[in-house]
Amino acid sequence: MHIPDGYLSPASCTALYAGSAPFWYVALRRMKRAMNTQMIPLVSVFSAFSFIVMMFNLPLPGGTTGHATGLGIATIVLGPWAAMLAISVALIIQAVFFGDGGITTIGANCFNMAILGSLAVYVIYRMISGRATLTSPRRVVAGALAGYISINLSALITAVELGIQPLYYHDSTGAPLYAPYPLHITIPAMLIGHLTVVGVAEMVITGGVVAYLQRAEPSLLRLTAPGARVDRPDGKPAGTHGTHGTRRLWVALAILMILTPLGIIAAGKAWGEWSPDDFSNQQTRGQIAAASGNQPLPAEAPTGLRHFGSVWTAPMPGYAPRFLKSAGFGYMLSAAAGTGVIILVILLAGWIFERRAA
């Protein structure tokens, strides 16, 4: 779902930046009051968790790949506004440093996943969980369903954004200028893999982490469960965020970081994330056609895709540092570097908020 540069028209990119800006503004305003010594580690760990989870590519029907996002559990623990910022930071770091998603399409990718996804998780989770206690199995089900539905909703919106490009943006001969496939191709291509594989992965991650937190640190579930109260297994009230649960999350994150080379086992690119050069490669052209319902594709990359597809060169494109020959080690190093940058950005934001408050 990381739309690259050149797949959306400048007008589409501008509109989605404008659509994201009010949500970012409100989220920052709300987070200024919540950014304290307890909240900063939580935002950092779930932003980093989302970044790492998105590095685990899964094979999808048609020979493409996809990934979960971690936005479900991030929203349940942080609330929708903090989750918007946490996921947005992860997406921006991916685009700027690793070329995963475009610079011109940051607004679109953040709107589809961080903003729309977080709001969908929050609404669905609250509706299903109701007034259930923090340790109720109903909350596990609510989290799992919220994660599944939200990531498929994000995929649908992404497919619509890509699918309307050839309808509105084409040359005098009718050739598309940006994303080349219409809605009847983009929607099935995006949703089949997400409904069957990626959504299930997001469902398992969200429900699984909710179940874990219910046992280890149920206080971390309080923010999206107003009025619910339950005692911890050790008998202490679950009214405040504990440090042990956060520490365990950091340990789990470190383990995932070590395992990130597993994320490059799945062959193929995500649908709609092909580079302009891929349209000139006969083997890749066959893969694109096979993943797109065997529909013919342009003889070469669309003009706008060629023009805007190279507006930014990431320092470590494809999570593959140029100075390393080992793909697996480079992938793991990229995970560590991205996590480090995320932590620094959020710590800096917290410091700025504290200074302004003082």
Confidence class of residue 355 from pLDDT cuts 50, 70 and 90? confident
pLDDT digits (tens, 9 = 90+) for 171-220: 999 999 999 999 999 999 999 999 999 999 999 999 999 999 999 999 99
Q: Which residue has the higher pLDDT, 235 or 33?
A: 33
Q: Return the domain boundaries, the chain.
A: 10-357
Q: Tell me the pLDDT band of 108, cut-offs 50, 70 and 90.
A: very high
**Residue 182 burial by CB count (10 A; 0-12/13-18/19+): exposed, middle or buried?**
middle
Model pTM score: 0.93
pLDDT of residue 245: 59
What is the residue-averaged pLDDT of the chain? 91
Instruction: Kindly indicate the confidence band of residue 246, based on its pLDDT and cuts at 50, 70 and 90.
Output: confident
- Among the listed ranges 166-170, 296-300, 304-308, 318-322, which one has the minimum average pLDDT value? 296-300
How many other CB atoms are found less than 10 A from the CB of residue 327? 13
What is the percentage of the chain residues whose pLDDT exceeds 70? 93
From residue 5, alpha-carbon distances to 213, 215, 246, 274, 291 in Å are: 38, 43, 36, 10, 20
Going by pLDDT thresholds of 50, 70 and 90, the confidence category of residue 240 is very low
pLDDT tens figures, 253-291: 999 999 999 999 987 889 999 999 999 888 899 889 989
pLDDT at 302 over 70: yes
Q: What percentage of the chain reaches a pLDDT higher than 90?
A: 76
Yes or no: say if 207 and 140 are a contact pair by the CB < 8 Å rule: yes
Pick the CATH number of 10-357 from 1.25.40.10, 1.10.1760.20, 3.60.150.10, 2.60.120.10: 1.10.1760.20
